[in-house]
């Protein structure tokens, strides 16, 4: 881990560290909300270790807290989490070649990890960004969940800290350079339109999944051009 950290340039390491700290606060929010909703501490921690997907975990707790069926909560969380499948393909080269390494890499792949990894052109820097960000987020998220679970509602509302806007802002800043590529810009534009159009009518997290249809539109354009 130390050698990977040394591989990162100073600005990238700083940005990853800031996002990891923010992730810890959001994890504390999840822990507090989960326990406050009646879930035992062990279940909140198990979810953070095994699921490790903030949107899905919050969705699960929301469904349970509203009196929903646990099976429906799991299905909803899985649906929201399917967006990580194409992200794993996008950063698969940074994971390594062994099956154990790739399984671990797939588990720690998140939106933030992908956003930090994809822009890196140097293979060593790309691999370092992936593992440092992924492991850092995993540790901070689980530490935050534990603190939040035992700390009650001290940090129950991350919106008060502006953390609800922090992650989208970071992702936008990292993605902007990629929009110079015309097919990528078309895919993003179509995806944004789909997400905005469907947001009022479908559950949270689903618009992001539907936005992946923008990638299909981009491929269609490329096929016609060929």
Is 196 a residue whose pLDDT tops 90?
Answer: no
pLDDT of residue 171: 59
pLDDT of residue 70: 82
Highest mean pLDDT among 108-122, 183-197, 201-215: 108-122
Is 208 a residue whose pLDDT tops 60?
Answer: yes
Is 83 a residue whose pLDDT tops 70?
Answer: yes
Higher pLDDT, 137 or 200: 137
Q: Is 4:134 a contact under the CB 8 Å cutoff? A: no
Which residues, at least 6 apart from 217, have a Cβ–Cβ distance to it below 8 Å? 186, 187, 190
Highest mean pLDDT among 71-75, 93-97, 172-176: 93-97
Q: Which of 33-42, 69-78, 216-225 has the lowest mean pLDDT?
A: 216-225
Q: Is 117:94 a contact under the CB 8 Å cutoff? A: yes
Q: Got the DSSP string for 122-156?
A: SHHHHHHHHHHHHHHHHHHHHHHHHHHHHHTTTT-
pLDDT of residue 105: 92
Q: Mean pLDDT over all residues of the chain?
A: 79
Q: Which of 12-26, 64-78, 104-118 has the lowest mean pLDDT?
A: 64-78
Domain boundaries defined on the chain: 2-174, 181-226
Higher pLDDT, 49 or 115: 49
Which residues, at least 6 apart from 2, have a Cβ–Cβ distance to it below 8 Å? none
pLDDT in tens, 133-180: 999 999 999 999 999 888 765 555 555 555 555 556 655 665 666 667
Nearest to 83 by CA among 215, 174, 179: 215
Which residue spans within 3-128 are E strands per DSSP? none
pTM above threshold 0.85: no
pLDDT of residue 12: 86
Q: Is 184:171 a contact under the CB 8 Å cutoff? A: no
pLDDT in tens, 30-58: 888 888 888 888 999 999 999 998 888 88
């Amino acid at each position: 881990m130390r050698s990977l950290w040394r591989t990162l340039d100073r600005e990238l390491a700083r940005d990853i560290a800031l996002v990891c700290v923010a992730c810890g606060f959001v994890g504390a929010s999840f822990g507090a909300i989960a326990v406050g909703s009646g879930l035992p501490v062990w279940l909140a921690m198990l979810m953070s270790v095994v699921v490790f997907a903030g949107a899905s975990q919050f969705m699960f707790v929301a469904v349970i807290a509203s009196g929903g069926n646990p099976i429906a909560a799991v299905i909803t969380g899985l649906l929201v989490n399917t967006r990580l499948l194409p992200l794993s393909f996008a950063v698969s080269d940074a994971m390594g070649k062994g099956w154990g390494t790739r399984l671990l890499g797939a588990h720690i792949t998140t939106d933030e990890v992908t956003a930090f990894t994809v822009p890196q052109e140097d293979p060593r820097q790309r691999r370092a960004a992936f593992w440092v960000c992924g492991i850092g987020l995993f540790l901070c998220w689980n530490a935050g969940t534990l603190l939040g679970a035992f700390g009650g509602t001290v940090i129950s509302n991350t919106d008060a800290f502006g953390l609800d806007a922090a992650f989208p802002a970071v992702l936008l800043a990292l993605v902007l350079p990629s929009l110079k590529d015309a097919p990528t810009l078309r895919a993003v534009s179509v995806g944004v339109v789909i997400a905005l159009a469907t947001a009022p009518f479908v559950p949270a997290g689903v618009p992001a999944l539907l936005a992946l249809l923008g990638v299909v539109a981009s491929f269609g354009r490329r096929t016609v051009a060929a």
